[in-house]
Each structure stands twice: as structure tokens, then as C-alpha cells.
Amino acid sequence: MGDLVAGRTALVVGVANKRSLAWGIAQRLDAEGARVVLTYQNERTERDVRRLGETLTGIAGFLPMDVQDDAQVTSAVAGAAEMLGGGIDVLVHAVAFARAEDLGGRYVDTPRDGFQLAVDVSAYSLTALARTAEPFMRGRDAAIVTLSYIAAERAVPGYNVMGIAKSTLESIVRYLAWDLGPEGIRVNAVSAGPVRTLAARSIPGFGDMAGAAAARSPLRREVDADEVADGALFLCSPLARGVTGHVLYVDAGFHAMGL
């Protein structure tokens, strides 16, 4: 066990199962000394999240949170702050969703309601969380970290409306960094390479996408959840105290290549 975030408090939103990136980040924060609160989306996911969270040394509690429900976001953030002793030092946003039918085919065929759903859940939710958490993070040299993907800046066939949502998310990171910087709150994103999570299975052609990225990246390989978690840990730690409004690529260098 290390001490990069020893004594710090963390709210991790988005743990779904043992292969999710949010769970990898929660484990790294715990291993480096943080006390952690985890959220779960609904009763269906509660049991799995609790089972995972109870293996953490510094687990402080569990709370329900549907990021589309403002009242639940407010209640969960306030509840987490109470469980963590009054303040939140780290907020991890690892939430994204788009309907399966809006990921395949042509982006131009995305209906209005599918577009709104993807952007609301995957991007606006960061704004809602940051606004609600701000009073509990002020003056604590706090950090907010979210998860993005290269489709935020390049067209990735099959990713479609989620790429639009990730582009919105990265813009939100920059605006939040400006708004919250005077309060001592840093806001950054980790742009992860394709990681073979359960959620990734819903993306058409994901296996081909991951294989192509590995073949064309400078390191000639895929990345895993542990590497993404290490990047997030860095941004949450004092080592990144001068970093905000930034997108950190953890993708074996794929983002640097033109072909």
C-alpha cells in the first residue's frame, strides 16, 4: 500500500462491475490510502457494487445515484460528504450511456431523443456532479477526474453519438477547470485506449477497434484497466497539483499517430 492520497476522501461514481474502469480507479485510490464512497445506479447493480466495495480497506459507504435525477445527485453527494467526514477531496466521474441502436449504423440517423440521452448521461452529468460537489471540495486542493476516448476528437465509426458526447465532455472539463480553479479544484480527463470492459461489448466492432489501435500505437499493444487507473490516480494526487483542464492520454500512444 502506498500513500499518494493518504488521508484523502473520494467519491467514485460509475462502478458497475469488477471489469469497469471506475472499479479499477477505486481500487487504486484505496491502495494509496484514500477513504472511498461508491455509488450504484439502481437496485439491480447495488449488490455487485457492495460486494466489490466491501473488499476495499478504506470503504466509507455506498449510496444510490441516478445521474439523471437531480434530487438523487444532491442527496448522494451530500451523503458522501457526511460519510467522509464533511468534505470530498476527489470526485471520479465514470458514467456514460447511449442506446445500442444509436451506436451502430450512421451517426446522421441518430434521433433527437437518443442524442439528448447520450449527452445528458455521459456529459452533462459531470456538470451536475461538479456543481453539487463544489461546496464540499472548496479549499481542499481537490480533484475531479472523468473518462474520455479518442472519439472525442476523431470520427470512430460505430462509436457515433457517444463520440459527440465525449467531445462535449472534454469541453466541459475545460470550462469547469476555469470556473472551479479559484476554489482550488482541479478538473481533468483521462482519455483511455480501448479497454475490454463489459460495457465495451455493446459497441459494434469493438474487437476490431481495439486491435487496430494496438497495431498502430507506438507501444504496439492495448492498454488495460490498471494503466487507466494509474493515470487517474496521478491526476487525483498531489503530483498533478499544477495540472487542470487537461486530457491525459493513456492509450499506448495511439493519439499521437496520423496513420
Catalytic residues: 149, 159
In the chain, the DSSP E strands lie at 9-13, 35-40, 59-64, 90-93, 142-148, 185-192, 247-250
What b/e readout covers 166-195, taking b as 16+ CB neighbours within 10 angstroms? bbbbbebbbebbeebeeeebbbbbbbbbbb
DSSP letter for 194, please: P
* Cα-based angle 124, 96, 36 (whole degrees, multiple of 5): 90
Sequence letter at residue 55: T
Enumerate the β-bridge partners of residue 13: 93
From the list 110, 194, 94, the residue with the least C-alpha distance to 150 is 194
Edge-first strand order for the sheet with 185-192 is 59-64, 35-40, 9-13, 90-93, 142-148, 185-192, 247-250
